[in-house]
Amino acid sequence: MKLTYLGTAAAEGFPAVFCNCQYCREARALGGKNIRTRSQALINDDLLIDLPADTYHHFLTNGIEGDKIAYLLLTHSHLDHCYVDEMSMRQGAFAHDMRVPALQVYAGEGARKKIAGSGCYLGNVCVNAIAPFETVTLGRYTVTALPARHMPGDGALFYIIREGDKTVLYAHDTGYFFDEVFDYIAREGLVFDALSMDCTNVDIPIPNDGGHMGISNIEEVVARLREMGAVSDQTQIVINHFSHNAAPLQHVLEERVAPLGYLVSYDGRSVEI
Ligand SMILES: [Zn+2]
Ligand SMILES: [Zn+2]
Ligand SMILES: [Zn+2]
C-alpha cells in the first residue's frame, strides 16, 4: 500500500493565506518542503482522503488522474477537508470519458449535511453514510470509521484502512482518542503498519480533551497503543496536519521527532506500507 501526502497543513495553509507572522515569512523564504497546502492524502491511486480547496493543485503537481479515483473518505466538514463545490466538476460538460463512472463518497453526518446544503449538482458522485465503528468494503479496501474528538456536533470521523495484510490508521483531525476507540482497536486485535497522527499543535500545549494533538499527546496515544500490542517496532508513525502557529518548518520538525522515530509529512511525500 502506498500513502501519499498531498497536503500537510491545517486550514490556513503554511505559509498561511493572509499571515505575515515570523514563521510564515520564513516558510515563504525557504520554500520547498516548508510550503504546506491543505490536508489531503491518497492511498495508491484510487482512494482519496478529504477534499480541500487545494485538490486541483494537488492533482496537477502530483500527476494524479482524478477520473481514476474510485473512493473518497471525508473526515468532517471543516473547509480544509470538505470543499464541496469541487464535486460538481465530475459531471456534464465538465468531465468526460471517466474510467471510474461514479465516485463513491463516504462521510459522517456534518459533511453530508454540508454537501446536501451546498446546492451542488452531484452527477457521477454518490454520497454514502458511514457511522462510527461501521466497516465497509470498498473494492480491495476494508475501511472502518472511528469517532474523532474534533469539531463537536459534526460527527467527525477518522479511518482505519486495510488492504491485504496492511493496516493504516489515518487520524486527522482528532484530539486524543476516545476510550471507545482504544477499546475497539483492542477488541479487534488490530496491529497497525502505519499511523498518521494529528500534530496540529506540535509543541503548543493542548489538553487531551482538545480537538487536536501535539507531540506529547501523540506520545501518549502511541504508548497506549503499544501497550495493547497495536503498535510494534515495525509500525511507521507519521506526524501531519500542522498549524502555522506551531512553526512547522520541515528541518525543525525532523530534528524534533528524530529521537521518537517519527516521520514528518511534507506535501508530495509517499510512504510505502
Ligand atoms: Zn484540518
Ligand atoms: Zn503565520
Ligand atoms: Zn478540522
Instruction: Please tell me the distance from the alpha carbon of residue 32 to that of residue 17, in angstroms, as a whole number.
Output: 17
Give the residue from 268, 236, 251 showing the smallest Cα distance to 5: 268
Average pLDDT taken over every residue of the chain: 98
Three-state DSSP class for residue 221: helix
Q: How many DSSP H helices and E strands does the chain contain?
A: 6, 14
Question: 103 C-alpha to center of ligand 1: Å?
Answer: 22
Range of the domain at 92: 2-272
DSSP line for 123-161? TTEEEEE--TT-EEEETTEEEEEEE-SSSTTS--EEEEE
Give the whole-number percent of the chain exceeding pLDDT 70.
100
Instruction: Please tell me the distance from the alpha carbon of residue 22 to that of residue 89, in angstroms, as a whole number.
Output: 37
Task: Note the pLDDT of residue 196.
Answer: 98
Question: 96 C-alpha to center of ligand 3: Å?
Answer: 32
Task: Note the pLDDT of residue 244.
Answer: 98
Task: Note the pLDDT of residue 266.
Answer: 98
Task: Note the pLDDT of residue 255.
Answer: 98
Does this model's pTM top 0.85? My answer is yes
Question: 29 C-alpha to center of ligand 2: Å?
Answer: 13
- pLDDT bracket for residue 195 (50, 70, 90): very high
Question: 72 C-alpha to center of ligand 2: Å?
Answer: 30
CATH number at residue 188: 3.60.15.10
Task: Note the pLDDT of residue 101.
Answer: 96
How many domains in the chain?
A: 1
- pLDDT bracket for residue 41 (50, 70, 90): very high
Asked if residues 130 and 106 have their Cβ atoms less than 8 Å apart, the reply is: yes
Asked if residues 62 and 92 have their Cβ atoms less than 8 Å apart, the reply is: no
Which run of H or of E encompasses 270? strand 270-272
